[in-house]
Structure 1
Amino acid sequence: MMRAQGGDREAYRYLLEAITPYVRALAARQVRNRGDLEDTVQDVLLTVHAVRHTYDPARPFGPWLVAIANRRIVDGLRQRGRIGSHETVLDTEHETFSASGANFQEEAVDARAVRDAIEQLPIGQREAVRMLKLEEMSLKDAAAVSGMSVASLKVASHRALKTLRKLFASQGNKT
C-alpha cells in the first residue's frame, strides 16, 4: 500500500488483486446472497480506493483494511435490510395472467368501434389522430406530411380526442 500511495500503479493493481479474495471471505461470513456478496466486495474495493490516502504506512495494513471492510459490509447489510423491509416477495401464486386467446372478440369489437368513431371526425381531426396516435408520428413529422403547423396538429388532436371521449361516454363505453 505504501508503494501504491507513492504512485506505483503496478503495486496498486497487485494490492487490489491480492486483497480481493480476503475481502470476499470477510464478506461471505455475513452476506449470503452471491450477487450481494460481489456488490459488497466491489463496494469495499471502491472505498479502499477512495480512502487510500488515509492509510498510515507506519501502522499495519491488515487492521486498516479489516476496519474498512467491516464498516462497508455492515453498511451494505443495513441498506439491504431497509430496502428489503419495504419489499414483498412475489411467489408464483401471486402471478396472474389472462388466458391466451381470451377477450379477442371484445377487442375486435372495440377496435371496430374506435375505427368507426374516428371516421366520423372532421378530416383535419381524423388525420391528426391517424398520424399522431395510430401511426405514432412525431409532431414535426406529421406537420411536414400534412402541411399543418405543429400548433394546428395539437389543437386538432386535442379536439378529436375530446370528441371521441364524448362519443364513447354517450354510448356507455369508457376509453
Structure 2
Amino acid sequence: MLARRGRDGEDVATDDVRWGLLMARAQDGDKAAYRELLLEVTPYLHAMARRALAANEVEDAVQDILLSLHVIRHTYDPARPFKPWLATIAQRRLVDHLRRSARRLAREKPLADEAALAPAEAATQDDRALAVRAVRDAVATLPMRQKEALLLLRFRELSLDDAARASGRSAGSLKVALHRALATLRRAMLRV
C-alpha cells in the first residue's frame, strides 16, 4: 500500500492501518496495544483540537475525546479505516466542547469595576430583605401543625425522632406536615 502525506506531514495510510490493527488487538483484550494506540493518537488529537479551540481548552477537549474513544471502542469495525472513525469522534466531541463553551460564556458576565458593583450589592441586600420578609409572611400563614414541623425539622434541625418526642406527635405525622408546609411555601414564593 502506498502511503501519502497528510496535512500534518504524517504518513496517513500507515497510521490508519497501524492504528486499526492496534485497535483490533485492543478489542481482543491486548492492553499493551491499547496503551500504544492511545499514545500514538494523542498528538493527532492535539493537532485537531488546536485547530478548533483556544489553547487553554485543548487539553480538556483531548481528554474528552480519549474518554469517548474508550467508551465506544467496541463499535470500531476492524474491516473499516480507523482514522476516519477516530476523526468523526474527535470532531463531534470538539463541536460539543464548543457548544459548552458558548453556553458558559453566554451565562457568565464580566466583572465590572468596583463603582458599578456597589449599587448591585445594595440591590442584592434589598432583594434579600424582601425575600426574608416574604418567607416570614408565608410561614405565618401556615397552620400550626405545619409551622411546628417546619420549626423543629428545618429551623432547629432536629432528627425526626427527636422532633416527634419534642412535639408529642408521630414521625409520620411530622413528615406529612413538613411536606405540606414546604409545598405551601413553594407556591407562596412563586407568587412573589
Short-chain TM bin? 0.5 to 0.7
Output the CA distance in 1 between the equivalents of 2:94 and 2:26.
24
Instruction: Determine which structure has the larger helix proportion and give its number.
Output: 2
Name the counterpart of 1:18: 40
Per the normalisation by structure 2, the TM-score is 0.50
**Closer/same/farther in 2, CA of residues 52 and 22 from structure 1, 3 Å limit:** farther
2:28 is equivalent to residue 9 of structure 1 = no
- Given that 2:164 and 2:171 are in contact with CA atoms closer than 8 Å, whether structure 1 keeps it comes out as yes
Q: Which runs of 5+ in 1 are unaligned?
A: 159-175
* Percent of pairs with identical residues: 38
The C-alpha deviation readout for 1:39-66, integer Å capped at 9, x for no partner, is: 321332233331454243574x444433
2:104 is equivalent to residue 80 of structure 1 = no
Q: Give the partner amino acid of 1:92.
A: L
Per the normalisation by structure 1, the TM-score is 0.54
Q: Give the partner amino acid of 1:24.
A: H
Show the 5 A alignment for 1:1-175.
1=22, 2-32=24-54, 34-35=56-57, 37-49=58-70, 50-56=72-78, 59=81, 61-77=82-98, 79-80=99-100, 83=103, 87-93=106-112, 95=117, 96-98=120-122, 130-150=151-171, 153=174, 154=177
Q: How many residues align?
A: 143
**Closer/same/farther in 2, CA of residues 29 and 138 from structure 1, 3 Å limit:** same
TM-fit CA distance, 1:33:
5.8
Output the CA distance in 1 between the equivalents of 2:155 and 2:77.
63
TM-fit CA distance, 1:133:
4.6
Q: Which runs of 5+ in 2 are unaligned?
A: 1-21, 182-192
Larger Rg: 1
